[in-house]
Amino acid sequence: MGVETVLGVIFNFWTGLAVLSIILVKSSIKFVPQNQAYVVERFGKYNKTMVAGLNVLVPFIDKVAYNQSLKEHAYDVPSQAAITKDNISLVVDGVLYLKLLDAYKASYGVDHYVYAVTQLAQTTMRSEIGKIDLDKTFEERENLNTNIVNAINHASEPWGVQVMRYEIKDIEPPRTILDAMERQMKAEREKRATILESEGHRQSAINVAEGAKQAQVLAAEADKTEQILRAEGEAKAIIAVADAQALALDTVGKVANTTEGQKAIQLNLADKAIEAKRAIAKDSTVVLLPDSHSSTANVVAEAMTIINTLNNDKNTNV
């Protein structure tokens, strides 16, 4: 065997060894992406779960049996028939948001966890809708979603998955029910319109009554004020007249104390006596002849006597 043959064999050996080493290293090193989990089996039995990053396998012994995604996924729940508590048939569909928490349980706990959770969501949805009446299915959709999520999570815990949320997309009652609901809504709207209109009339009547009441109150207040002012004016006028009369009397009294005042009083009394007799003679059919006691001079003399007596009493008091 020549040297060239030996060198060729040696080169082929090392070349094969290098290629084999590269293959072994490549098969033993695994880079797991983020939010991924590799389930590793050794001789057909579960060995470990590789998470994101660099991982090492034993070549020809370890095998990646399952590649599970840890991301949250949305799955459509097919439409299905459900019967409410008041025996109304509905067609309901939804969407399921699912996340894998345990790759080992999801790989070995159930054959196909997405299908299993979807079926569980359908049965749970039918069960929850059967607990309520038709009218409440639209009002309590949020409560329905919450109850379905709680029921699914309780049942799917051994599968290593968690339902993040469940949303009912559409609820379709029968056509006859829709027509009845539409008529009910129309009647309700008309009822609210009638109530609002009657409330408007009622408020308008109240406003008119309140306005009339306020007008009467203001009128009464104005009349009261007017009467008070009139009474005050009359009182002031009476006081002013009394003050004027008092002043006149005081002035007359002061003048009467003088000699000229006495003469003026005598002349005034004589004029009044003559005027009185003249009036009596004019208006009466009976003519009275004066005597010595009823003559004008006697009348004046009697008046003067009375005045002198008053003056003497006044001087005595002073």
Name 62's Cβ contacts closer than 8 Å, sequence gap at least 6. Answer: 40, 41, 42, 47
| 38, 32 contact by CB (below 8 A) | yes
Q: Among 259, 276, 260, 272, which Cα is nearest to 303's? A: 272
Task: Please report, in tens digits, the pLDDT of each residue of the chain (318 residues total).
Answer: 556 676 666 767 677 767 776 777 777 788 888 988 999 998 888 898 898 888 888 888 888 889 888 899 999 888 888 888 888 888 888 899 999 988 899 888 888 888 989 988 888 888 888 888 887 887 788 888 888 899 888 888 888 899 898 988 888 887 777 677 778 788 888 888 888 888 888 888 888 888 888 888 888 888 888 889 888 888 888 888 888 877 877 776 676 667 766 666 666 666 766 676 666 666 655 545 445 444 555 655 655 665 566 556 555 554
What is the number of residues in the chain? 318
Identify whether the C-beta of residue 91 lies closer than 8 Å to the C-beta of residue 80: yes
Distance (Å, whole) CA 129 – CA 148: 10
Phi-psi region of 53 (alpha: psi -120 to 50; beta: other; left: phi over 0): left
**What counts of helices (H) and strands (E) characterise the chain?**
8, 8
Long-range contacts of 206-212 (CB under 8 A, 24+ apart): none
Tokens of 290: 């004066």
- Residues 185, 128 contacting (CB under 8 angstroms): no
Q: Which of 194, 148, 152 is nearest to 169 (CA)?
A: 148
pTM exceeds 0.85: no
Q: What topology is assigned to 72-173 in CATH?
A: Tetrahydropterin Synthase; Chain A (3.30.479)
Instruction: Give CA–CA dist 148/156, Å, rounded.
Output: 12
The answer to whether the beta carbons of residues 27 and 59 sit under 8 Å apart is yes
The helix/strand/coil state of 293 is: coil
d(CA 128, CA 116): 18
Domain boundaries, the chain: 3-68, 72-173, 257-317
CB atoms under 10 Å from CB of 78, counted, come to 10
Give yes or no for a contact between 265 and 300, defined as CB atoms under 8 angstroms apart: no
- Written as six digits, the tokens of 78 are 């097919």
72 Cβ contact list (under 8 Å, min separation 6): 97, 98, 99, 164
Query: DSSP 3-state assignment of 214?
Result: helix
pLDDT of residue 4: 67
pLDDT at 97: 92
